[in-house]
Structure 1
Amino acid sequence: MIRLCCSVLFGLLLAASASAGEWPHYGGDAGGMRHSAAAEITPINVENLTRAWLFRTGDMTARADDMKHSAFEGTPVLVAGSLVFCTPFNEVVALDPGTGAPKWRYDPKIATGYRPGNQFVCRGVTSWTDAAAAPDALCATRLFMGTTDSRLIALDAATGQPCLGFGRDGEVKIDPGMDLQWPGEFQITSPPAVARGVVVVGSAISDNRRVDAPKGTVRAFDARTGKPVWEFNPIVRGAEDHPESWPRGSVAHHTGHANVWAPMSADEARGLFFLPTSSPSPDFFGGERAGDNRYANSVVALDAATGEVRWSFQTVHHDVWDYDVPAQPSLVTVDWKGAPRDAVAQVTKTGFVFLLDRDTGEPLFEVEEKPVPQGGALGEFLSPTQPIPVAPPPLVPQELKPEEAWGLTPWDRAACREKIAAIRSEGLFTPPSEQGTLMFPFTGGGANWGSAAFDPATSTLFINTSRAGHVIALIPSENFEAAKAAAPNEEISPQAPTRWAVKRELLLSPLDLPCNPPPWGMLTAVDLSTGTIKWESVLGTPRDLAPVPVTFKWGTPNFGGPIVTAGGVVFIGAAMDNYLRAFDAASGEELWKGRLPAGGQATPMTYQWEGRQYVVIAAGGHARAGTKLGDFVVAFALPHGK
């Protein structure tokens, strides 16, 4: 009887998804499941997918210089009869879903030559329908977007016209709360979230420049008027609610960040926002911020009406590794001990998956506080333990020994072995050091902003991960200028005014290949009912990275995420070769790959239009990752009659 009830409830969930008929949110739904009820494309016919249409934004010509500092990470939404996305420069474009023909375009006029600290990035827009407005009224359904120059903009979803009653002429200028070192130090890269008539926005803030950095305040506004509703500062609130986490005299007064740069999730029925917060400033030295530093590095559930904390769960105590919570919290309903259970699944840079009760934040799988390496730099205050989930197992290796070094030849293998032997390498949470410390996984993950996809019919979570290492070396602050002058092209940051600057570099061989053994990118399916791994598949090849097109199944580091369909197919780009791939959701077998005109470091989406299922991805590359740049949006579909 219980199992029958469970099956009926899951059927209702799927039916609700199917009845929507669209992809109205960045993550498919407001809770970021990245699941579609579309089922025309299946493991049997997916090999027949062909390009249905291609659209170019024109940025390769109009913003040629700025493209060198951009990443096209956008995922379109399907709303009001249009496929809508934002370019890296915050232009909002609406296309005909069946042909890719442009319908309207809005340009917020981001200045050319502007240099944001986190590249030009716009991951998506958010739609909201005003139940109190007449259906045909202007801005009855509106789109919200945060910009790289710190504005929150509201547009009519049907026409792209600014919603003039929102803020001032359709936009609200976000005040970072302090003077910036340069205009691009503070920006908005991820889509806002909306619940109960309140729209909230986070921020992306440049790392490691200073202790007294902008705070990671999340700001809420009335979705109709743009008037401020509340603010949530993870650091100040952490000091109030967890005094032991920010001892008196520590930096609650001048430490910044703990910002929400990744996408947030919303639960309309519960009236909750779910925030993935980052580390406090600076990333690699916490001597000025003793304590666990809650609510940083946490999943935080906020009341949509008031901004009050309902619950929080910290994934890393006193972070000195840049292990932000980097991904949208996945609001899932799992088959838990024979009954449906509403939960939050959070993937992390460390490779852990935390499964939390959605109402209380209590872990469903036990989380143990385990001792971790100590012996931090002079002045540091390390946490003696870190939270480690009993299940699921970590999705990536978390330790690399000299004898495990990899190389294409004996020469570069030996060089990697010597590099690892010369630095601290004691496993996950080894503290940064003047000697140099191996961070494995690196600050790009494990998992990252691409988040995860969830199939409610099977309680399966699909996660793509990267496997690479960083070497983190602390530099006495008095030596910073000399170190920077000696290596101007390397990442050396001041962390002022602490006693330590920092150098961060990838652990690479003389041939510029990772020193850890492949695979370097994986796609993994996790059963959230049991906490077990169902399958793992290699994601990507060095085909577009090597001087010649080699297709070794080595995987690559990846940026972007997966989606899953009721047809039983997982779609993902993300890898550093120019392909969109399809995997069998049941077995993990790679079934198809479609060639892209540029890097696909974005999360795809899918929808049905006039009886045909399309899969769409932005193909514009990622400047920092070194993939091919472009300004393409590409749609694939089955040929008519297939």
Structure 2
Amino acid sequence: MYGVGPKLKLFALDAASGRQLWQFDPFEGKEPRLNECRGVTYWNNRIFYVAGAELFAVNAQTGEPVEGFGESGKVAFTTGLDINHDVKHLYVTATSPGIVYKNILIYGSAVSEAGNAAPGYVRGFDAQTGQLVWTFHTIPQPGEPGYETWPKDAYKWAGGTNNWGGMSLDERRGMVYFGTGSPSSDFYGGDREGKNLFSDCVLALDAGSGRLKWYYQTTHHDLWDRDIPCPPNLTTIRRDGKLIDVVVQVTKGGNVFVLDRDSGKSVFPVEERPVPIVGLPGEKPWPTQPVPVKPEPLCGPFISDSANYLPPGEKGTVLVGYSGGAEWGGNAVDTNGVFYQNSNNAPWLLQMVSMAERKKRSRRCRKGRVCM
């Protein structure tokens, strides 16, 4: 049995007795750069996981770094992100394990949610050598689908739109499915007019090449940090007398999207409902948001669409869908087709503060006054 401790030390136990067999310290002799770790990936007698800003390959029998993988068993996890960004000083790691298709190790990432964030590109690495095989630009570059949904040249500075919640693999189709998060920063998008593909999307890629097969956006121009928080569930349902392979994706807002696994089209009707469009100065909220007619939302219908998508403001708003509906724990579908999901009803109070007001508060704090 393999696991990771709170200081990111990888360990192997004898599962019958609990006896520790070995331990690997990714920061030995260096200052730790800690991050959350929700699991590791096992493949061909190797354990892969990310600690700090490095991707490690460790021998599953001995606990030693795998020679021939990158440099002494590790690869810089910023590899492939620095085409248009200087990412060496930015926060880049992974909190969820990668997934392996044939000999390609596919990873999302965790990046900052503030304005100065690395792009959340999804990458495929050679599981033998650590070489970068492909990169999918979640913030599109010129000539790529979705480029027109951002301001011109946004790919040179925009960050976020990352897959931090994990992935699902259909090995027979050779396709990998995952969700992405919001652009950075979370609650203001005045500098990123448009729908902002591929943020807040369910994506299907060819696992061998990273080529886009389809996408489905669950929140347009996200202003509420409505990251897709967990891997999609791949299952089969009966619809109109036919069996359909589907992708079931839950969201922080409590919506459940059921999408055809090959086309990405919704199996059930989805309505683009009008929402408020008055936001902070410079902000241009998207005028509609997608709401599935079926299945019903996980969260109780205690708040209207208008209130649920109220743009953040200086007076303060009630924010629902920031820490659930669904969260990173994921869900399950049983053999009878029943879907199980732990769901949160957790409203938050969100108030935006101008830089001028923030500076005032900071000055009061430095003078020893109580501040918040």
Structures share a fold, TM > 0.5? yes
Contact kept? 1:373, 1:426, Cα under 8 Å: yes
Mark the CA change 1:336 to 1:280 in structure 2 (over 3 Å): closer, same or farther: same
Contact kept? 1:276, 1:297, Cα under 8 Å: yes
Q: What amino acid does structure 1 have at the position aligned with 2:345?
A: R
Mark the CA change 1:430 to 1:479 in structure 2 (over 3 Å): closer, same or farther: same
Partner of 1:72: none
Deviation at 1:159, TM superposition (A): 2.9
Deviation at 1:346, TM superposition (A): 0.6
1:291 aligns with 2:194: yes
Deviation at 1:395, TM superposition (A): 0.8
Partner of 2:95: 189
1:170, 1:370 → 2: CA distance? Answer: 50
Partner of 1:567: none
C-alpha offsets along residues 186-228 of structure 1, whole Å, 9 cap, x if unaligned? 22211011112100122111212x2x42111112111111111
Deviation at 1:102, TM superposition (A): 1.6
Mark the CA change 1:359 to 1:111 in structure 2 (over 3 Å): closer, same or farther: farther
1:161 aligns with 2:64: yes
Structure 1 residues without counterparts, runs of 5 or longer: 1-82, 130-140, 402-424, 493-502, 504-642
Deviation at 1:398, TM superposition (A): 5.6
2:144, 2:215 → 1: CA distance? Answer: 14
User: Please, which of 264, 276, 280 is the counterpart of residue 377 of structure 1?
Assistant: 280
Partner of 2:357: 479
Mark the CA change 1:390 to 1:230 in structure 2 (over 3 Å): closer, same or farther: same
After superposition, the CA RMSD in angstroms is 2.5
1:399, 1:186 → 2: CA distance? Answer: 37
Contact kept? 1:146, 1:201, Cα under 8 Å: no
Which structure 2 residues correspond to residues 138-177 of structure 1 after superposition, within 5 A? 141-147=45-51, 149-175=52-78, 176-177=81-82
Which structure 2 residues correspond to residues 102-141 of structure 1 after superposition, within 5 A? 102-109=20-27, 114=32, 120-129=35-44, 141=45
- Larger Rg computed on CA atoms: 1
Contact kept? 1:196, 1:304, Cα under 8 Å: no
1:440 aligns with 2:323: no
Q: What amino acid does structure 2 have at the position aligned with 1:284?
A: F
C-alpha offsets along residues 397-438 of structure 1, whole Å, 9 cap, x if unaligned? 36459xxxxxxxxxxxxxxxxxxxxxxx95211110111111
Mark the CA change 1:95 to 1:361 in structure 2 (over 3 Å): closer, same or farther: same
1:449 aligns with 2:367: no
User: Please, which of 255, 259, 266 is the counterpart of residue 356 of structure 1?
Assistant: 259
User: Please, which of 80, 96, 99 is the counterpart of residue 14 of structure 2?
Assistant: 96
Q: What amino acid does structure 2 have at the position aligned with 1:297?
A: D
1:223 aligns with 2:127: yes
Deviation at 1:162, TM superposition (A): 2.1
Contact kept? 1:286, 1:380, Cα under 8 Å: yes
Mark the CA change 1:394 to 1:239 in structure 2 (over 3 Å): closer, same or farther: farther
Which structure 2 residues correspond to residues 6-17 of structure 1 after superposition, within 5 A? none
Contact kept? 1:222, 1:229, Cα under 8 Å: yes
1:479, 1:171 → 2: CA distance? Answer: 45
C-alpha offsets along residues 458-497 of structure 1, whole Å, 9 cap, x if unaligned? 1122111111111221222222222355579xxx9xxxxx
Q: What SS is found at the alignment partner of 2:8?
A: coil
Contact kept? 1:89, 1:122, Cα under 8 Å: no
C-alpha offsets along residues 327-365 of structure 1, whole Å, 9 cap, x if unaligned? 111112223344432111111100011111111111111
1:335 aligns with 2:270: no
1:125, 1:88 → 2: CA distance? Answer: 14
How much identity, in percent, do the aligned residues show?
39
User: Please, which of 413, 430, 446 is the counterpart of residue 310 of structure 2?
Assistant: 430
For these two proteins, the number of residue pairs brought into alignment is 364
* TM-score computed with the length of structure 1 as normaliser: 0.54
More helix by share: 1
